[in-house]
Amino acid sequence: MAKSIAVAGVTGAVGQEFLKVLADRNFPFSKIKMLASERSAGKTIEFKGKTYTVELLSEDSFEDVDIALFSAGGARSKQFAPAAVAAGAVVVDNSSAFRMDPDTPLVVPEVNPEDVTQHKGIIANPNCSTIIMVVPIWPIHKVNPIKRIVVSTYQAASGAGAKAMQELIDQSRDVLDEREVRKEALPHQIAFNLFSHNSDIGPEGYCEEEMKMVHETRKMFHCPQLAITATTIRVPVLRAHSEAINLELTNPMSPDEVREILSKAPGIKIVDDRQGNYFPMPLDASGKDDMLVGRIRQDISRSDGRGIDLFVSGDQLRKGAALNAVQIAELLV
């Protein structure tokens, strides 16, 4: 059944990816509203052969809207999502505003699609790093429950938005041309450098990005005591995040058993060519819907066979944001 949809934050990197995914998946809509801030209101956008004028995002934007896809930042989500719900829309929110709200389901369709039915008007899209991790580990967890996760991320500039992506390009040119490097979107030079994720550090010494991976995974897995430790790093990659994941399982499991499970799991492509030394790379993951999974091997630091290592690359703008939100909208349809 065709729905009336709205895209809030349509001119941003994720908002533009929303439109690409909606078109790629031929999402059934009867009409669509393009919404953004004052800075972008009045601009025009071409979508599926038609020209749309970007409207100002306001509390009055959601009359006759069935599904509102939000990627306008946490503050705007908190401000405008309740108005959308009051108007009768279901909000799929890409910000962190509602993720840990106990009344708001946090959903990855490959993991916990059934939680969608528990919404009270808002469904939260998890953090991109969390999504890229849980899609490949959930199928393993269903067969052999995970007891502990150790994850290190290699996060692309795309995770900080379109301005950060452009800053990586500009800084790379500046470095190569021996010009002064300018920093605006990110706090440190990203070209030819890497640094700890630039979110606030909490009292435990973990940054917000790391704690998002902990809390969000526990919520979606319905495992509040699941042991997780994360280290999140920003790297000079334009698009697509990568993650090194170490799992402690309840029972022994071989790499071949893991490959067999993942080969049948949705949203995953195994890239694990040991002979050719070819494994997941962000270049290969960019623009793709599937998570690329490789380096599947036994943790040799353990003698009990209960440790597995993986390396994953996934497009932060696609499955890490826009695709996941549209998949949630498809569940609603």
Torsion of the alpha carbons at 208, 209, 215 and 220, rounded to the nearest 10: 150
Determine whether 241 is an active site residue.
yes
Q: Each residue of 270-306: pLDDT tens digit?
A: 999 999 999 999 999 999 999 999 999 999 999 999 9
Q: What is the pLDDT of residue 161?
A: 85
Q: Each residue of 316-329: pLDDT tens digit?
A: 999 999 999 999 99
| Structural domains of the chain, ranges and CATH numbers in brackets | 3-125+321-332 (3.40.50.720), 130-315 (3.30.360.10)
Confidence band of 98 (pLDDT split at 50, 70, 90): very high
Asked if residues 126 and 95 have their Cβ atoms less than 8 Å apart, the reply is no
Q: CA–CA separation, 156 vs 136, rounded Å?
A: 19
Q: What is the pLDDT of residue 333?
A: 86
Q: What is the pLDDT of residue 146?
A: 98
Reference 271, options 301, 249, 296, 241; nearest CA is: 296
Determine whether 223 is an active site residue.
no
- Which of 128, 141, 207, 215 is the catalytic position? 128
Reference 79, options 102, 62, 100; nearest CA is: 62
